[in-house]
């Protein structure tokens, strides 16, 4: 079997499994997950046994206690012009599904052993009074956090990847409010009015240049953790970038216009901080910092 055929087959299978209905129903039975008190982040441990492990995410990262290390350069190949991007309202956040060949969505280097493919990216945010990032730095949270979810190319399905500690890699990017709109986030906002209701989706009219959102030139923290939504599997290498990006108030307001399955506004859709449980957090500094 040729390598190109294998990755083509995997891409189709991964995209199908990672759609929100199949992902939650098939793997964890969490089709009713949202950001409410009765179905949201605080109920994760009760509804999903895997959520009670020792390598949970998110965490409060302490720079003074992080182990500074040198690692190979973190590298990507996100070929914006050759991939498809589709915005979805999954009932607890917005998500952009990425479709394309493995070599056009590739991530490698840094703490990773092997190569990974970008499946999707999604967002956690707060209302105007709440900092909505999932991770914190020295107790400091940000207005929100975007997660870029990648699968290890040695696993041909998300189901299989969830059973391995190196199955997924998630890049976490903080954002705060600034004076100017973020031009890449604006491409998502352009079609967000088509996705106000849970289950709605729309193809992006202009593809987001993903490499322009992620601050690869900055320092980052890395540790072994879990997904922050069901099934909360401990399968994730986290790479959390130190430098936040900026979005505008109008862009945050657009996020807060999305609705869950009950018609309630989606906001404050972050999981509470989890204990570190003795895990090592490593800091990788960019030479320019």
Q: Where are the domains of the chain?
A: 3-284
DSSP label of 182: -
Q: Give the H/E segment covering residue 15.
A: helix 3-18
Contacts of residue 194, defined as CB under 8 A and 6 or more positions apart, other chains included, come to 87, 200, 202
Of the chain, the percentage scoring pLDDT greater than 70 comes to 81
Q: Give 159-195 pLDDT, tens digit per residue.
A: 999 999 999 999 999 999 999 999 999 999 999 999 9
Q: How far apart are CA 36 and CA 265, in angstroms?
A: 10
Return the minimum-mean-pLDDT range out of 43-57, 100-114, 239-253. 43-57
Return the minimum-mean-pLDDT range out of 17-31, 75-89, 101-115, 134-148. 17-31
Query: Domain 3-284 belongs to what architecture?
Result: Roll (3.10)
């Amino acid at each position: 079997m040729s390598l190109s055929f294998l990755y083509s087959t995997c891409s189709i299978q991964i995209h199908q499994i990672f759609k929100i209905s199949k992902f939650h129903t098939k793997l964890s039975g969490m089709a009713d997950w949202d950001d409410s008190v009765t179905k949201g982040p605080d109920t994760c441990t009760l509804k999903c046994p895997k959520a009670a492990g020792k390598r949970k995410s998110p965490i409060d990262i302490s720079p003074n206690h992080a182990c500074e290390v040198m690692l190979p350069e973190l590298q990507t190949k996100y070929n914006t012009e050759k991939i498809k991007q589709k915005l979805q309202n999954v009932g607890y956040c917005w998500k952009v599904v990425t479709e394309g060949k493995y070599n056009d969505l590739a991530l490698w280097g840094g703490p990773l052993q092997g190569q990974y493919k970008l499946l999707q990216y999604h967002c956690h945010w707060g209302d105007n009074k709440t900092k909505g990032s999932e991770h914190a730095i020295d107790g400091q949270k940000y207005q929100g956090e975007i997660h870029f979810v990648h699968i290890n190319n040695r696993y041909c399905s998300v189901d299989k990847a969830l059973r391995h500690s190196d199955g997924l890699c998630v890049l976490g990017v903080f954002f705060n409010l600034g004076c100017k709109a973020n031009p890449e986030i604006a491409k998502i906002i352009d079609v967000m009015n088509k996705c106000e209701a849970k289950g709605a989706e729309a193809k992006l009219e202009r593809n987001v240049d993903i490499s322009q959102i992620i601050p690869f030139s900055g320092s980052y923290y890395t540790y072994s953790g879990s997904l922050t939504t069901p099934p909360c599997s401990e399968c994730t290498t986290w790479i959390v970038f130190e430098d936040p990006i900026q979005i505008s108030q109008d862009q945050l307001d657009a996020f807060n216009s999305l609705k869950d399955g009950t018609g309630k506004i989606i906001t404050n859709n972050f999981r509470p901080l989890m204990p570190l449980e003795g895990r090592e957090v490593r800091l990788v500094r960019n030479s320019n910092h």
